Structures are given as C-alpha cells and as structure tokens.
Structure 1
Amino acid sequence: MIYEKNEHFILETDNEMVFITVFQKGFSILQLNPILLDFPQIMLENVKDLKDALLEASGERVKVGRQKPIADLDIAADKMSASVKLNCSENYLKENQSVIMDKILENLQSENISEGILLNVLQNELRIKDHTVIVKGKEAVHGIDAVVTYFKRSDRKPAVREDGKADYYDMGFLDKVKRGDWLGEKIPPTSGEMGRLITGEIALPRKGKDKKLLYDQKTVAAIEENGKIILRALIDGVVEIREGRIAIGDHLLIDGDVGNNTGNIEFDGSVTVKGTVIDHFSVTATKDISILSEFGVSNVKEIKSKEGDVFIKGGIFGKGVSKISAARNIFVKHANECHLTAGGNIHIGSYSLGSFLKAKNIFTDEKKGKLIGGVIEADGKVRAAVIGNRMERKTIINVKGFDRNLLKKELNDTLLLYKSKIKELESIKEKLELNDMFQGQINATQNFQNEQTECRLERLRTQIYQLDEKRKSIMDMLESKGEGEITIGQMAFPDTCLQIKSLEKKLSCLTKGTFYAENNHLHFESFR
C-alpha cells in the first residue's frame, strides 16, 4: 500500500513494515508531518534513517517504521473490559466503517471474547486516536458485611433539673427490660452475585464478612426472625455489659422504702429503691444501686455497691455516720456529713458539706456545685464551682497526683498490647472463617481443634475488653492538667487548704482558677 507518492519520494508499506524511497532532495522531515497526521497507522521507529534518506536522496528503499493495526485491541488485566484504538483518519473510518467493525469482531473472536460486546458502540461510537470501550463484563456484586446493632444503654450523665417545685438530681441509670424484650440484632452477611468475564468465565463475588453477636447465653437468647438474628431477654432484669457481652442482670425492685418492712437489703444483682432508705438501715448489692426518692436518704448505716455504681437522686444527710461506697462511680445530689468512697469518680450535683470524699476524680456541677468543709481526696483531679464558704469553714482538698511520663508509658504499652491482641483476634477469625468453608468435611480431631480455637477467641475478646477499659481509665487521668489538678470555677474562700502531690497551698483570699502540679512546682492559672 502506498501512503504518499510525489516527485521527492514514495512512502509505502510492505508486510506491515513502512519504507521510504527518496529520489530528489529538498523535502524536510518537518514537511512530512502533515502526511503522517493523515495516516495515524504509521509508527516511525528509525527517525535517523528517515532524516538521512531525505538528505541523501539515494533512491534506495529504507525501512523507517512499522504499520500499526487499524484497530488496536486492549484487554483489561481482569478481563472485565476491552477497548479499541483506531489508527486511521476520520475519512478512512467513514469510508470503511463496516470493514473496521468486521476486523474488530474478528479480533475479539480470536481472543475468545464472547460476553458483553457493545454492538451499538461498534456501530455508532467508534473514535479515532482515543480508546473506546467496546466490551464490558458483568462485575460480581460483592456480599455485604453483617451489621450488628445492640441495645443502647442510658448514658450516665447526671444533671440538676428543676420542675418548678424543687431541683433534683436526675439521670438515666438502670435500663430495665422484661423477658422477650429486644436487646440487639444481626443482619447476616450476603453472599453477593456472580459476575461474568468477557471471556465467558464466571467472576466469583467476595462473601460479606460475618460478625459475632456477643451476649450472655444464660440470660439472652439469639432467635432467627424474618432473616435476622434477634437477641431477646430470657429473664426480667436490667441490661448489663459483662466483659464486652450484653447480658441481663438480676434486679430487685423495692416499690417503697427500705426499712422495717424489708429489713436490710443484701442482693446479688442491681437494686432499685423507689422510696428512701430509713435511718440505720443498709443496702448492699453486687451491681448498681439506685435510690429514687427526691428527699434522698438520712442517717443510713451503709449503701454499698461491690462491683457497680451508686445513684442517690435526692442526696444524703449522713449525720457523720453514713457510709456510701461503690466499686465504680457515685452520683448524688448532695453529700451532707457522710463518707463517700468510690473506685471510679464521685459526681455531686449540688454540694458536699462537712463530708469525707475519696475517689479517682471528684466533680460537682460546674455552675453551682460546692465543696464546703470536710476532706476531699482524689487521685487525679477535683473540679468544683465553689470551695469553702463565707464563714471560712476549713476545707481540705488533697490530690494524690501521678507521674505523667510513667502513665504515658503505661498507656503506650496498653495500646501496643491492645493492637497485638486485635491482630491475633483477626487472624483467628480468618482461620475460623476458612474452617467454616469446609464444615462437614473435617474429622473429630479437627473439630476439637476448632472448638479450642473458639475458646481462645472468647478469651481474647475478654482480654481486649479489659485492655480497652484500662485505656479509657488512663486517658481519663491524663486529661487532668499537669500531674494533678484542682479547678475552682467560681470562687474558693480563705482557709481552704490545697495539696497536689507534696505541694501545698493555703488560700488567704478569694481565688478562682486552676492549680496544678508540674515539674515539682505548683502552678496557677487564673480565670477572668
């Protein structure tokens, strides 16, 4: 095929090679560009030889390149599509549309491409120079991962509320449920839909990942309902989280007062007292204790939660003998001449008067919470709107403090261990998912090994939950300013004694701001 013939040269193709024969000098390589644009199928490879041929005009036939195919087929690596690039001019395409289309179909057949051919594109949408997608496979639709939802427990965020008659301390505390109540659900993963490659082969979908429902099998049942796995309570009680699993705890409801009619209460579970606790009586429970009388309690012997929280809506008039303790947190409206000891935090809505308070952190309402008289001991921080009073009642605040660098190292070690346990957990889950694929084809020994792996997985989940709780506790402590903090939101009166670590400060005037220990010095930031 001759591309160009003039008085200077002949440009032609032979066996897909491109040759030039130059008879007369005077034709530059730049003048050749318009001709090459008219014939996109020419690919120059020997530019130096072309220049020399034009300069020398020896009349010899010189190879300068090769001829690209009119239709250049490109098959995607995943065999989900194929495109074509036309190496011809617009005029050539118009004049040879059907020939080009037949050539493309021939090329597709030689590559065993039979699925998803876009005939409409081949007939009407072919373009020169650009790649045009002419074949599309059917993509596999990957499965959707399982979706797990659990009962949302009430946030234990107390607040002082006013109803027009009196203010009271309120919060969502115990979430009571009845047998059969909804506690959670899982929408199982889907398998997805198969696709098809352009070569006709099946494209397998990726199955959605499953997720395990974490629940206490003694108190919660998993039931298949309408294509979902629903968690329902097996007993009446209160919703708990035990080492990361949702569970129902035993709940004792006293529909009145604790007193002569009930005797002292000692219960393995959570206790709700709708009334109050009469003088000299006690309530002890392994889990949470909630006392809902707006009048609070007076002169009780003891209220003790061995593993949970204590909430007293109306506060305490202790008369110097009442002892309130909780393994976790204590929430009270006010504390008047009593002893409060918490393994976690103490939250006071209104005031503490002449009381002994001991906890990790101690908080009062930021706008009107008061600490007046008594001894307040905390590990990390104490925050109150007002400390002391105008009568200059002696108030002692003692923050034990901590070593921030050591605590940061402990946090880092905890996070590293947490991440390694998560990685180990994912590895075991993948192994169990693989074993599930061959369920029914394993022997007794392999089945036993699977059961052992499941037990190991449960232990890991427990360890991860415990590490996460430790992480939260350390981060809560690190939120303190410096290495121990006392914040006074409104004012602290004279004769207030502050101690953070071994650093002491006795106030001699009204003060507002934050005291904190850092680098063995007591620092103060004043509030405007």
Structure 2
Amino acid sequence: MANESPKLAEWVSFAVRDKGLTAVVSFREPPLAQEKSFTLEEFKALIEHQGFQYGVFADQELSAILDGWLQAMSDVPIAKGKPPEPSQDERLEFCFDTNPLPTPQLLENDRVDYRELGILQNAHQGQVLVRKIPGKWGEKGIDVYGNEVPSNPPKTKTLPAGQGTVIAPDGASLVSAIDGQIVYGRDQRVAVVPVHHVREDVDFSTGNIDFVGSVVVHGSVREGFTVKATGNIEVFGIVERANLLAGGDIIIRGGVQGSAKTRINAKGAIKALFVQNAVIEAEGPMVVSDSVMHSFLRAETLRVTGKRGLLVGGVTRVDHSVFARIIGSHLGTATRIEFVLLSEEKKQLTIHRTQLAKLEETLGKAEEALTKLHLIEERAGQLPLEQRQIRDRLLATRSAAYEERTTLQEEVQRLEAMLAQKTRVTIEVTAMMYPGVQLLHDHMEWHNNDFMSGCKLECTAEGWQRYV
C-alpha cells in the first residue's frame, strides 16, 4: 500500500482468533531504541493491509500498544468483531401441572376441605396437553473482516407423545386422543390413560376422585368420600358411608355399609356383595350376591342371590322383576316393593294428552283468525300491511303446531301400545316370603300376612296372582 512500511512488517505478524471475531498482533523483540522509529500511521497501514475493517481499536489504543512494545509480545488484540446473539431454542409449554401436590380446597370463611386435594388431572379428547413454542434466530454478528456471522440455529424440541395422545397435524401441539387421566412419567412422556387405579383406599391420602374414564379402587372407599367416573367404577373393598356416581356400571366386591346420606348411582348396572342402609339407583339391572337390608333401591330388575339371598326392610323400586331367596323377616319387618315402569309411562301419557289438547285449542283459534282474514281480503281485494303481517305469523304458528301435533300423536300411540301389552311384573321367592312384605303395581297394592315358601307372584289385570 502507499503508506506501507516494510521495515515495521519485519517485526510484527497478524492473526485472527475466536472464529474471526478477534484480530491480534504479535511483536518480535524490539530493535534498539535509536532504531525504533515506527509511527502510528505505519501500524494502521499494516492493519488495513490485513483486511481488518470492523472493530479496529481507536488510535489512542493502538498508540498505547506501540508505546508498550518493550519486549516480545504475542496475541495482542487490535480489533474486536460483534458476536452473534444466541438463538432462543424451541421450548415446550405444559398445559397441566407436571408435579401436582395434594392441596386441600379452600372454602368460604377460611374453611378447608381436606377431601378435595386436586391430585387427579383429567383430559378430554382433543384437549391440548403440550404446546411447542417456536425458537427464534439470534441477531447476526460481524467479524473483523466485516463479514456477517450467523447465530447458531435454534435447537428443536420433540413433543413427548405417550399412550393416548396424538401430535396435532401442524406439529405444534400434543393433544389427548381420549378422555382419561393425564400421566407424566419418569420417562418424561405425557400419556392419557382411560382407567384410573387407586392402589389402596380412597381416603384423605387420595381425596375425592372425579375422573373422565373408569376408576378401579383396589381398596375401600372410606366414609365421607366420593368417587365420580364417566365410565365404570370397580371397588375391591367396601363402600363405607361414601358416594359413587358412574356413567357406566358399578361393581362393589366388598359390599356397601351405608347410611341415609350414602348415594350410589349408575347409568348402567350395579353389582355388590351386600347392601346395608344405603340409597342405590341403577338404570340397568342390579345384582346383590348376599343380602339387601334396610335400603332404598331403584333398578330395572333386582336379583338377590347367594346362600342368604335376603331382601329385608326399606323400599325397592323396579321396572319388571324381583328375585330373592328370602324377602322380609320372621319379625314382620316392613319391606316394600314397587313396580314403577307402567306408572311412569302412564304419567308421561297423561302429559302428552294434555299437550295435545292445548295444541288443538291453539290450532282452532289460528284457523278461526285465518278464516276471518280471508273474508276481509275477499271483500277488500287486499289486506292492509299490518293484517298481512298478522296473517303471516298465524300461518307460521299453525305450521309449527301441526308439526308438533304429529310428533305428540306418534308418542301417544307408542305409549298406548306399550300399556296395551300389559307388561308382566313378577316376584320370585325360592325359600320364604314373610309377613310384612308390601307389593305395589299400578295402584294395586297387596300386603302379605302369611309365611309363603317357594312361590312366584305375578300382577295381572285382576290383581296379584300366586303360583307355587
């Protein structure tokens, strides 16, 4: 270059470090002082000759380096580039508590419910469990030559898909494929399982259970606790003055020791070893393997089987039939059995007939008003705007009423046909029915005052009939 000093070039050498982000100079042992006549301009010309364009130190700093050259020096920085900013890596956002701790629910007046611990986390099908937050490239840097220095690419994250989960089509989230319990395992994967297992008892260590799936309790359900499930509930121990609510079936292998406040309800069937002092309702059949004592039962049918096969006390309401070995007791304990299916159907039939009568009245008034408007239109040639609007509303009302009447008429015919079939209701006793047993069906009530062994009772239009 024009100002290059070959003499100075003999005493210095240049290099770059840190992937081009630092330029350094090394000096040999300096010449004698009287021969050391290098200038700042010569030094800057050498630096420029190396191609260093960015981050070169100011003149004051370069002069200080020359002035400090009293002996051999190595890797003295003379220029600093701009390092790239670190990129932000992708990260995962968990939409549930990955480490749920038992936390009693705080109620009003600073009271605490230790039965509501919030440990169990439910997921519904399609619910987002984990979101992937995109990474971001860091700002580019500049090396000492003036070139751009890209940042390292953001690191990607893999969605921790486990059993019962799927990755969304856009790849940005993990969603639940089923209804169930969220499980975050030691393998750092997220799963949704359809069955929640309680390994011991449902008590203060677990809190109440409210699950979108089926629940299996390997112990007992202790007093005052509640288990809710949209699927089935199975309890290997006893239900001890507790509540069970299932969208499917309920199986209680150890039986029910209840109280007036105990509620057990299933949309499906119920099976239990025994039932004592409880309120139990099933939309399907109910089977008890040993005994039912002083309880309120509601089911499609009831079978009390086993060696005892005892049904005594309380109220039993069924649709069709009751089977037991023994009904009542030798003490004459009041035991009431009601057949309610036809009563409920008759009630519904009465409601529909009342609705039909009101519809007929509405239709009659609409037809009368439309006839009057038609006569006015014939005389005047055209109805005024206000009366045309009234006519349009009447026509819409009449159309809706005709449609509703058709639906109700079909339902009335269905119910009348069902009642005409005179659905049979039966009670079968294989050992003994004691005095004190009351039977009720369609307002036909019968009180047993005898010791009746091995019999079958059926209600007909003439009343209760006994078959030995």
Shorter chain as denominator, the TM-score bin is: 0.3 to 0.5
Which is greater in Rg?
2
